């Protein structure tokens, strides 16, 4: 794996900050190194300086930032997590939900479908740092591989086959507002009943993880829920109590 020394890392960070206004220092250096190596291989670039020059002088900087978004996603990914979410949702007649790092939109649309299917009025904010992923999500059109976990009755009820793709029904799309947003800088105060932040923290450094968790806690109502990825957990946060160790669900106390 490519190893980036401090000098080159700082140059990379500064180029991206100046050109697109995004601070990559929240990500772990090993994660950034893997992303750089991936982009260099696309261009068959062997020298790190050559790649930095490419970032400075072309649209590659936008492609690199887009590559930071974690796009491994599908509808009803980890069905047991959504089963648990459905149980918790039964206590609500309406709910405000935030899907952090929503990538191409499968997660927030899954949330919307569950809420609608259970008669819960729901307003969902879905955010990601990758503007291309957000534009894709807004269209609500997905290949068959994205819907492989969708139950047949749900597929028939909330999707329409359009050519070789599945379109999310408009009344489901209307429940979701998509935004390009950097979670490390997001500030809300007590707005959300549920926040999904799955499979993002594992790519962040320790300081950034703490900052993100703090921002999320500030955006949570009392007794609301945070749902993390299955390999993620919260350290030493007095505001959160884990209520499901398997599904990684925390309640704000």
pLDDT at residue 226 greater than cutoff 70 = yes
CA distance 105 to 183: 16
Confidence band, pLDDT 50/70/90 cuts, at residue 202: confident
Greater pLDDT, 81 or 181: 81
The pair of structure tokens assigned to 132 is 């291309």
CB 75 within 8 A of CB 109: yes
Strand blocks (E) in 65-139: 94-100, 121-128
Greater pLDDT, 13 or 204: 13
pLDDT at residue 190 greater than cutoff 80 = no
pLDDT reported for residue 52: 95
> Mean pLDDT in the chain?
92
pLDDT reported for residue 70: 63
What mean pLDDT comes out for the span 208-219?
91
Greater pLDDT, 71 or 133: 133
Q: What is the pLDDT of residues 55-66, one digit of tens each?
A: 998 889 988 987
Q: What is the pLDDT of residues 94-131, one digit of tens each?
A: 999 999 999 999 999 999 999 999 999 999 999 998 88
Q: Please name the residue that has the structure tokens 């379109």.
A: 167
List CB contacts of 234: < 8 A, sequence separation 6 or more: 213, 226, 228, 240, 242, 250
Confidence band, pLDDT 50/70/90 cuts, at residue 227: very high
pLDDT at residue 72 greater than cutoff 70 = no
pLDDT at residue 247 greater than cutoff 90 = yes
CB 248 within 8 A of CB 195: no
pLDDT at residue 188 greater than cutoff 80 = no
pLDDT reported for residue 71: 61
What mean pLDDT comes out for the span 4-21?
90
pLDDT at residue 35 greater than cutoff 80 = yes
Strand blocks (E) in the chain: 94-100, 121-128, 141-142, 159-162, 165-168, 176-180, 192-197, 220-228, 240-244, 249-252
Greater pLDDT, 80 or 184: 80
Q: Please name the residue that has the structure tokens 């999500």.
A: 137
What is the pTM assigned to this prediction?
A: 0.82
Q: What percent of the chain has pLDDT over 70?
A: 98
Sorted by where each starts, the structural domains of the chain and their CATH numbers stand as 6-66 (no CATH), 79-252 (3.40.50.150)
């Amino acid at each position: 794996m490519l190893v980036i020394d401090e000098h080159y890392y700082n140059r990379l960070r500064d180029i991206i900050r100046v050109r697109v206004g995004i601070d990559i220092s929240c990500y772990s250096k090993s994660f950034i190194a893997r992303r750089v190596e991936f982009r260099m291989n696309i261009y068959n670039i062997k020298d790190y300086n050559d790649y930095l020059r490419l970032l400075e002088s072309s649209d590659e900087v936008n492609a690199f930032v887009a590559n930071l978004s974690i796009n491994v996603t599908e509808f009803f990914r980890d069905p047991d997590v959504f089963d648990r979410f459905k149980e918790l949702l039964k206590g609500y007649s309406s709910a405000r939900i935030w899907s952090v790092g929503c990538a191409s939109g499968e997660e927030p649309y899954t949330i919307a479908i569950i809420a609608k299917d259970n008669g819960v009025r729901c307003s969902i904010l879905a955010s990601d740092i990758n503007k291309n992923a957000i534009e894709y999500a807004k269209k609500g059109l997905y290949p068959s591989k994205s819907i492989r976990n969708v139950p047949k009755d749900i597929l028939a009820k909330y999707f329409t086959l359009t050519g070789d793709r599945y379109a999310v029904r408009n009344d489901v799309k209307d429940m979701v507002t998509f935004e390009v947003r950097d979670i490390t800088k997001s500030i809300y105060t007590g707005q959300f009943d549920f926040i999904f932040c799955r499979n993002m923290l594992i790519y962040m450094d320790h300081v950034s993880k703490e900052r993100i968790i703090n921002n999320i806690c500030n955006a949570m109502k009392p007794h609301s829920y945070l749902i993390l990825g299955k390999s993620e957990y919260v350290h030493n946060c007095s505001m959160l109590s884990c209520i499901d160790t398997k599904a990684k669900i925390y309640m704000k106390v």
